[in-house]
Amino acid sequence: MSLSVRPLTDEEQRRVKQLLHSADAATYRHARIVRLSSQGQKVTQIITAVGLSDRQIRKVIHGFNQHGVSALPRRKAPGRKPLCGEPTRSALVELLRRPPTDFGIESATWTGADLAAVARQQGLSPALRSRTARREIQRAGYRWQQAKRWSAQEPEYERKKTPGPPGGASGS
């Protein structure tokens, strides 16, 4: 018995036709497989037309038969779970607003390693490393060179507390 897609409804035919114009190559190929199969072509004929393996074509057809048109567009890979969310990022910024000496660090300025170590001690993020700490400060809208020198005793503390324009350009 040969494998083919189930009969398409009018709505599914319309959606497949839309997906045939997709800019994403994988989505286009998936829609083309369904279209060719619905026109009566066998898997071996579709292999020649699309250039995918037997297994990939069968996977697309099975996915369509089970889930409909929603199975055709390329799905984004889930990726790694973020180490820091918005609350952790805000807490890192708050740590930068205090001098490192408050935490027993004999330095006037923060380093990425010191910030990460203090964040781990405070329980903000158990796996935080220096590079990640610097990246999270940038994601919060601050430049690391600007952020590492904050201290409440500085005369320009209030100006430094608010993020500047992207790229570090000044308004003057």
Give the residue from 101, 87, 84, 97 showing the smallest Cα distance to 163: 97
Domain count, the chain: 2
Question: Residue 53: which domain range?
Answer: 10-71
Rounded distance, CA 151 to CA 143, Å? 15
Confidence (pLDDT) at 172: 47
- Average pLDDT estimate for 133-142: 87
* Residue 48 pLDDT > 60: yes
Q: Is 172 inside any structural domain?
A: no
143 and 96 belong to one structural domain: yes
In a shared domain, residues 64 and 128? no
- In tens, the pLDDT along 76-104 reads 877 888 778 888 888 988 988 888 889 89
Res 136 pLDDT > 60: yes
- Output the pTM of the full model: 0.50
Which pLDDT value is given to residue 110?
Answer: 86
